[in-house]
Amino acid sequence: MRTVLLLLTAVVLASLPLFAGTFYINLASQILIAAIFALSLNLLVGYAGLTSLGHASFLGFAAYASAWASTNLGLGFAPAALLSITTTTLMAACFGLIALRATGLGFLMITLALSQVLWGLAYRWASLTNGDNGLTLAGRPAPFGIALDGAGAYYWFTLAVFAAAFTLMAVFVSSAFGSALKGTRDQPRRMAALGYNVWLIRWITFVYAGFWGGVAGLLYVYYHRYIHPTSLSITTSAEGLLGVIAGGSGTLGGPVIGAGLLVLLKNYASAYIERWNMLLGFVFLFIVLVIPEGIVPGVRRLLSRKGSGKP
């Protein structure tokens, strides 16, 4: 049943540009980008037990690095993307060395502080980042000669990247390393007593999450063709965290559902309600109170109850 559902979902997603309008295609592209970002954050929150409020660092830095390399160094999209992802991953490695000196609230505050430093630099270092005006990207890449300027073409490109990201992160968390990572989340002292290097496992996961956060940043700047310091703000990190928590942390489908819900609320609620953030808050408050484990685990629980005949 699960295989049939996945195949049906894949067919619908792949054929979306054939029957949907431009607005909905662009909306789907935004959801896929937000889903990759939420999935990368979920590696830390759901599987490592490390709540971060600075994950926007990787999205924003990768987007800025790509736009700056293309605009100021004259690099093509491929070299700029490679430079962007490499520097973002190296930055994640350095940030991990600092942030993983603590866990719990200390880890959260350190990641927030590091993100705020980058946000401040993006605003104030105008000679590098163009300050509040941001950086503009001239067009989109054309991999293998395929232009991505159209909404449908870019959606298919984003969908392909999302499929690769989802698959590779699923392999990561279901591997032996993923099992060890869950062990460090649940019983870090016992894992250390068994001979596992808890810090190293967390650091590798932190770097891997930063890598995929950077991939989401590349897709983000390609979609908007523009990057602004708000991409590095606490709001961006908080939205990713809300998506993970609402959908269900520690699951693969949860962050995707949560990110989709968040993007839909932002796009639709803001069109009809001036203070749409209040509605967003009420929706997530309802989720936390009614299904605190998240949408996906909550639905599974309800279905298992019905299957077993329990009220």
Residue 18 is assigned to a structural domain of this protein:
no
Domain assignment present for 238 = yes
In a domain, 2, yes or no: no
**CATH assignment of the domain containing 69:** 1.10.3470
Domain-located, residue 1: no
Q: Is residue 8 part of a domain?
A: no
- Tens-binned pLDDT, residue by residue, of the chain (311 aa): 667 777 887 888 888 888 888 999 999 999 999 999 999 999 999 999 999 999 999 999 999 999 999 988 888 889 999 999 999 999 999 999 999 999 899 999 999 999 999 999 999 998 899 888 999 888 888 888 888 888 889 999 999 999 999 999 999 999 999 999 999 999 999 999 999 999 999 999 999 999 999 999 999 999 999 999 999 999 899 999 999 999 999 999 999 999 999 998 888 777 777 777 777 788 888 888 888 888 888 888 877 776 555 55
- Torsion angles phi and psi, residue 226, rounded to 5: -165, 145
**Distance, CA of 240 to CA of 262 (rounded, Å):** 9
Number of folded domains that form the chain: 1
How far, in Å, CA of 180 to CA of 178, rounded? 5
Domain span holding position 65: 23-308
Which of these, 172, 171, 169, 140, lies nearest to 157 by C-alpha position? Answer: 140
4 within a domain of the structure (yes/no): no
Residue 228 lies in a domain: yes
Phi, psi angle pair for 136, to nearest 5°:
-105, 135
44 falls within a domain:
yes
